[in-house]
Each structure stands twice: as structure tokens, then as C-alpha cells.
């Protein structure tokens, strides 16, 4: 970690499998809303988890983190294990009076090639995060900073925005919101999305033809 604090009360689950980034990239050009329709509206986070800074669109694999309310020691520890394309998915227990993420952690994310950060909790330093471009979604913005005492968990399933997020799941976001997809569903999803996209484009063409 970049901070000199004991992390002995942070439990870490290791050796879990990630969804293939290349397959997620194939579906990433489709809107989250369309993906959600194909998946029967399952896996879509609550609207309270919204875009607050950086680029709006992202895709990657879930690196789940559970933090104590208003504490970010587990996030620091998670970044030691982050791989390129990971998305930090943080269950901050919905606490909005203390931010658990800001620009300094954002710098570490960029160094680790983390794709995005999604927090069921609060974030701060949004101007700096905007400049960085790091896609950041959260429940709230609050300037009050966190403690760094723990406890916490890294790599175990967490709830975020009313969705269970397993390690290695696919996750995508755009200005409509965030969707989490089981890694087992990814290989067959591109073909289903292509079909649904074709149906919707045909509908648009029929509507436009009536007004020409």
C-alpha cells in the first residue's frame, strides 16, 4: 500500500477468475439500457448510484471491496491486487456523510490501470477526478474525508446499488447507469445483443419512413 498503516484486519480472497476483457469489450458499444433489456432488466444498479466524475462510459471486471462506514483502508488494500481492467466496486454501506474515495486514490487507480470506480457511498475531489478522466460513480459527493482503520474485505461478493457483485463479474456503465453481468453469461451475450439491436433499429427505420 502507499500508506503506512497496518492492514491486518482486512481479509482478502484470492485466486478467483475474471471475465474475459475482450468479450466484455465486444458488448461495451451497446447501451447499458439495451443490455439490461436483453438480460430481462436484471443486474442493473439502483439509480442512486450515478455518474459523478470522469468519463461516463466504462467496462471491466468487478474487484469487490467491503468497507466500514466512512473508512477506506480496504480500498487501499484492494489496489495492491488490482489488475488492468478491474473496476473497484465498493460497498460503503450507503454512508454519505464521509467520502471513502478521492483524487489520491484516483491516482493509484490510474497507475494500476483500474477501469472505473463504483461506490455505494460517497466520493470527493470530483474536479480533480474529472481532470483525470477516471470514470467514477457513487451515491453522493461529500468533502468530509475517511478514516483508515478498517475492518474490511477484498475479493468477496458485495452488494452495491442493490445488486450482488461477485468477483470477476463483468460490469459496464454509461450515463444511464451501471449493470453487472455474471461472467458465465458473457460468451453468449454478444449475439443476443446484436439481434435486439437489429430489432430496435428496424423499428426506428419504420417510424422515420412514415415522416419522410
Where do the domains of the chain lie?
10-209
What is the tens place of the pLDDT at every residue in 176-211?
A: 999 999 999 999 999 999 999 999 999 999 999 998
Q: What is the mean pLDDT of the chain?
A: 97
pLDDT of res. 211? 83
- Place 27 in a pLDDT band, splitting at 50, 70 and 90: very high
C-beta atoms surrounding 32 within 10 Å = 21
Q: Check whether 75 has a pLDDT greater than 80.
A: yes
Q: Are strands 170-174 and 58-67 parallel, antiparallel or unpaired?
A: antiparallel
Average pLDDT of the segment spanning 27-51: 97
b/e burial code for range 116-133 (CB count within 10 A of at least 16 → b): bbbbbbbbbbbebbeebe
Cβ pair 46, 211 in contact under 8 A: no
Q: Taking Cα atoms as reference points, which of 83, 165, 179, 169 lies closest to residue 137?
A: 179
Q: Check whether 212 has a pLDDT greater than 80.
A: no
pTM confidence score: 0.96
The more confidently predicted of residues 2 and 20 is: 20
What is the tens place of the pLDDT at every residue in 95-122?
A: 999 999 999 999 999 999 999 999 999 9
pLDDT of res. 89? 98
pLDDT of res. 146? 97
What percent of the chain is modeled with pLDDT above 70? 100
Q: Check whether 12 has a pLDDT greater than 90.
A: yes
The CATH number of 10-209 is: 3.50.30.40
Amino acid at each position: 500500500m502507499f500508506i503506512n498503516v497496518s492492514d491486518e484486519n482486512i481479509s482478502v480472497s484470492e485466486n478467483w477468475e475474471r471475465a474475459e476483457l475482450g468479450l466484455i469489450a465486444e458488448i461495451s458499444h451497446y447501451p447499458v439500457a439495451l443490455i439490461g433489456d436483453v438480460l430481462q432488466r436484471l443486474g442493473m444498479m439502483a439509480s442512486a448510484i450515478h455518474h459523478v466524475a470522469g468519463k461516463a462510459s466504462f467496462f471491466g471486471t468487478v474487484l469487490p471491496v467491503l468497507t466500514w462506514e466512512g473508512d477506506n483502508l480496504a480500498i487501499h488494500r484492494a489496489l495492491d491486487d488490482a489488475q488492468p481492467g478491474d473496476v473497484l466496486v465498493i460497498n460503503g454501506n450507503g454512508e454519505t456523510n464521509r467520502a471513502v474515495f478521492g483524487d489520491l486514490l484516483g491516482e493509484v487507480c490510474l497507475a494500476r490501470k483500474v477501469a472505473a470506480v463504483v461506490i455505494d457511498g460517497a466520493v470527493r475531489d470530483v474536479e480533480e477526478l474529472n481532470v483525470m478522466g477516471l470514470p467514477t460513480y457513487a451515491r453522493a459527493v461529500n468533502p468530509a474525508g475517511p478514516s483508515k482503520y478498517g475492518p474490511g474485505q477484498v475479493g468477496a461478493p458485495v452488494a452495491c446499488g442493490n445488486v450482488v457483485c461477485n468477483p470477476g463479474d463483468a460490469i459496464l456503465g454509461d450515463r444511464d447507469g451501471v449493470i453487472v453481468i455474471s461472467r458465465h453469461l458473457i460468451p453468449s451475450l454478444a449475439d443476443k445483443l446484436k439481434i435486439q439491436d437489429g430489432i430496435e433499429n428496424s423499428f426506428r427505420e419504420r417510424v422515420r419512413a412514415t415522416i419522410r
